[in-house]
Structure 1
Amino acid sequence: MGSAVGKVYSLLTRPIRTFNVANRAERVISREKPVPAPQYASTEKQKKLTDEVNPNFLKEHYLKNMQLDQRLKDVFVTSTDPEKIIEPTKEPRSLPQSRYRPDEHTFDFYEPTIIPVGKCSLKQALKFIWQHKHDPVTHNSENIAAEYKIDKKIIDDVLKHFKLYVTNKQDSPEDLEDPVQEMLDAAIEEKKRKDLLEKKE
């Protein structure tokens, strides 16, 4: 609403503002001496005090001081280019001594070297889940919690929610095969076989 009123007001007052602009501008430009801007009362007071102390201050200020001018002429600055600093050449980095090519990437899990109290590694978890599955009496949650120093409630939750799908009861957790890894290994072998066939052709 406010912006609409402002637009209407602007449209109405524009002809008044722009009336006879060229003539008014010509009149200001053609004046012999422009009218100085009004000064503050404090500035006027300062000018009066300056005139009382030294009436010829402005005249002396704009006169050329020959002594200072001569001093400026006497000053002579010479500059020389600084010597080029030769940076020592960097020794070429030696090539790596080990040319061992790493094996193909696998999805093996990382086994930490230090396991804090109250925690267990994935390998340990697989082990006690497998032991509990095959002998729940001997490897009950209390015995597992005491062995690994983990809270019994956490062990109960792990045994409840995580299961191992083992076809052969004689298998140990170390013998369990990862189906994803098996598929990946098969794909790598197939790729190597195709590469060999292409080279022979």
Structure 2
Amino acid sequence: MGGRLARVFRTFNVENRARREISKEKPTPAPRHPTPPQDELADRPEIQEEISKKDDRLLTLLKDVYVESRDSSVRVKDGGGEHLPRSQEEKRLTKLGHLGELDVKKVPKGKISLVEALTLLNNHKLQPEVWTAEKIAVEYSLELKEVHSLLEFFIPFAVREFPKDTKKAIKPT
């Protein structure tokens, strides 16, 4: 019920209110500051001289200024809980795969490249008694808990071919 009443007041005398608003005198914009044309600046040599002149007083003040910059993104806590900046991170060389130039050459410690991940998963799948979680953690500088999670939740693709002699096989026509 309140919506109907609000609509009545909103639509009441709409045309007259619109005409009154349109017929109001619009405010005039502030005058623009006149700028001299570029040709006029080129004709007046005193302006060109003023532009190119060096102020010795300002130059001596500028020589006294010393700026010291510090990177605010690097925060070092006692206990070393935060990562080092990228330039200071410990990196290790990767075990290069068959992609050659496309492979990542260096990886931060505690991480592995995609080629390495697929390689270690495949090695573990083919020889689980040789490639144990402990050996993988030492070989690739990873935490043992992360290696256990990796081996449990990620499974490399396996291609299987089914024999074509079965009854359900599609026969070529």
Question: TM-score band (shorter)?
Answer: 0.3 to 0.5
TM-score under structure 2 length normalisation: 0.34
Rg larger in structure: 1
- Select the structure that is richer in helix: 1
Select the structure with the greater relative contact order (CA < 8 A; seq sep ≥ 6): 1
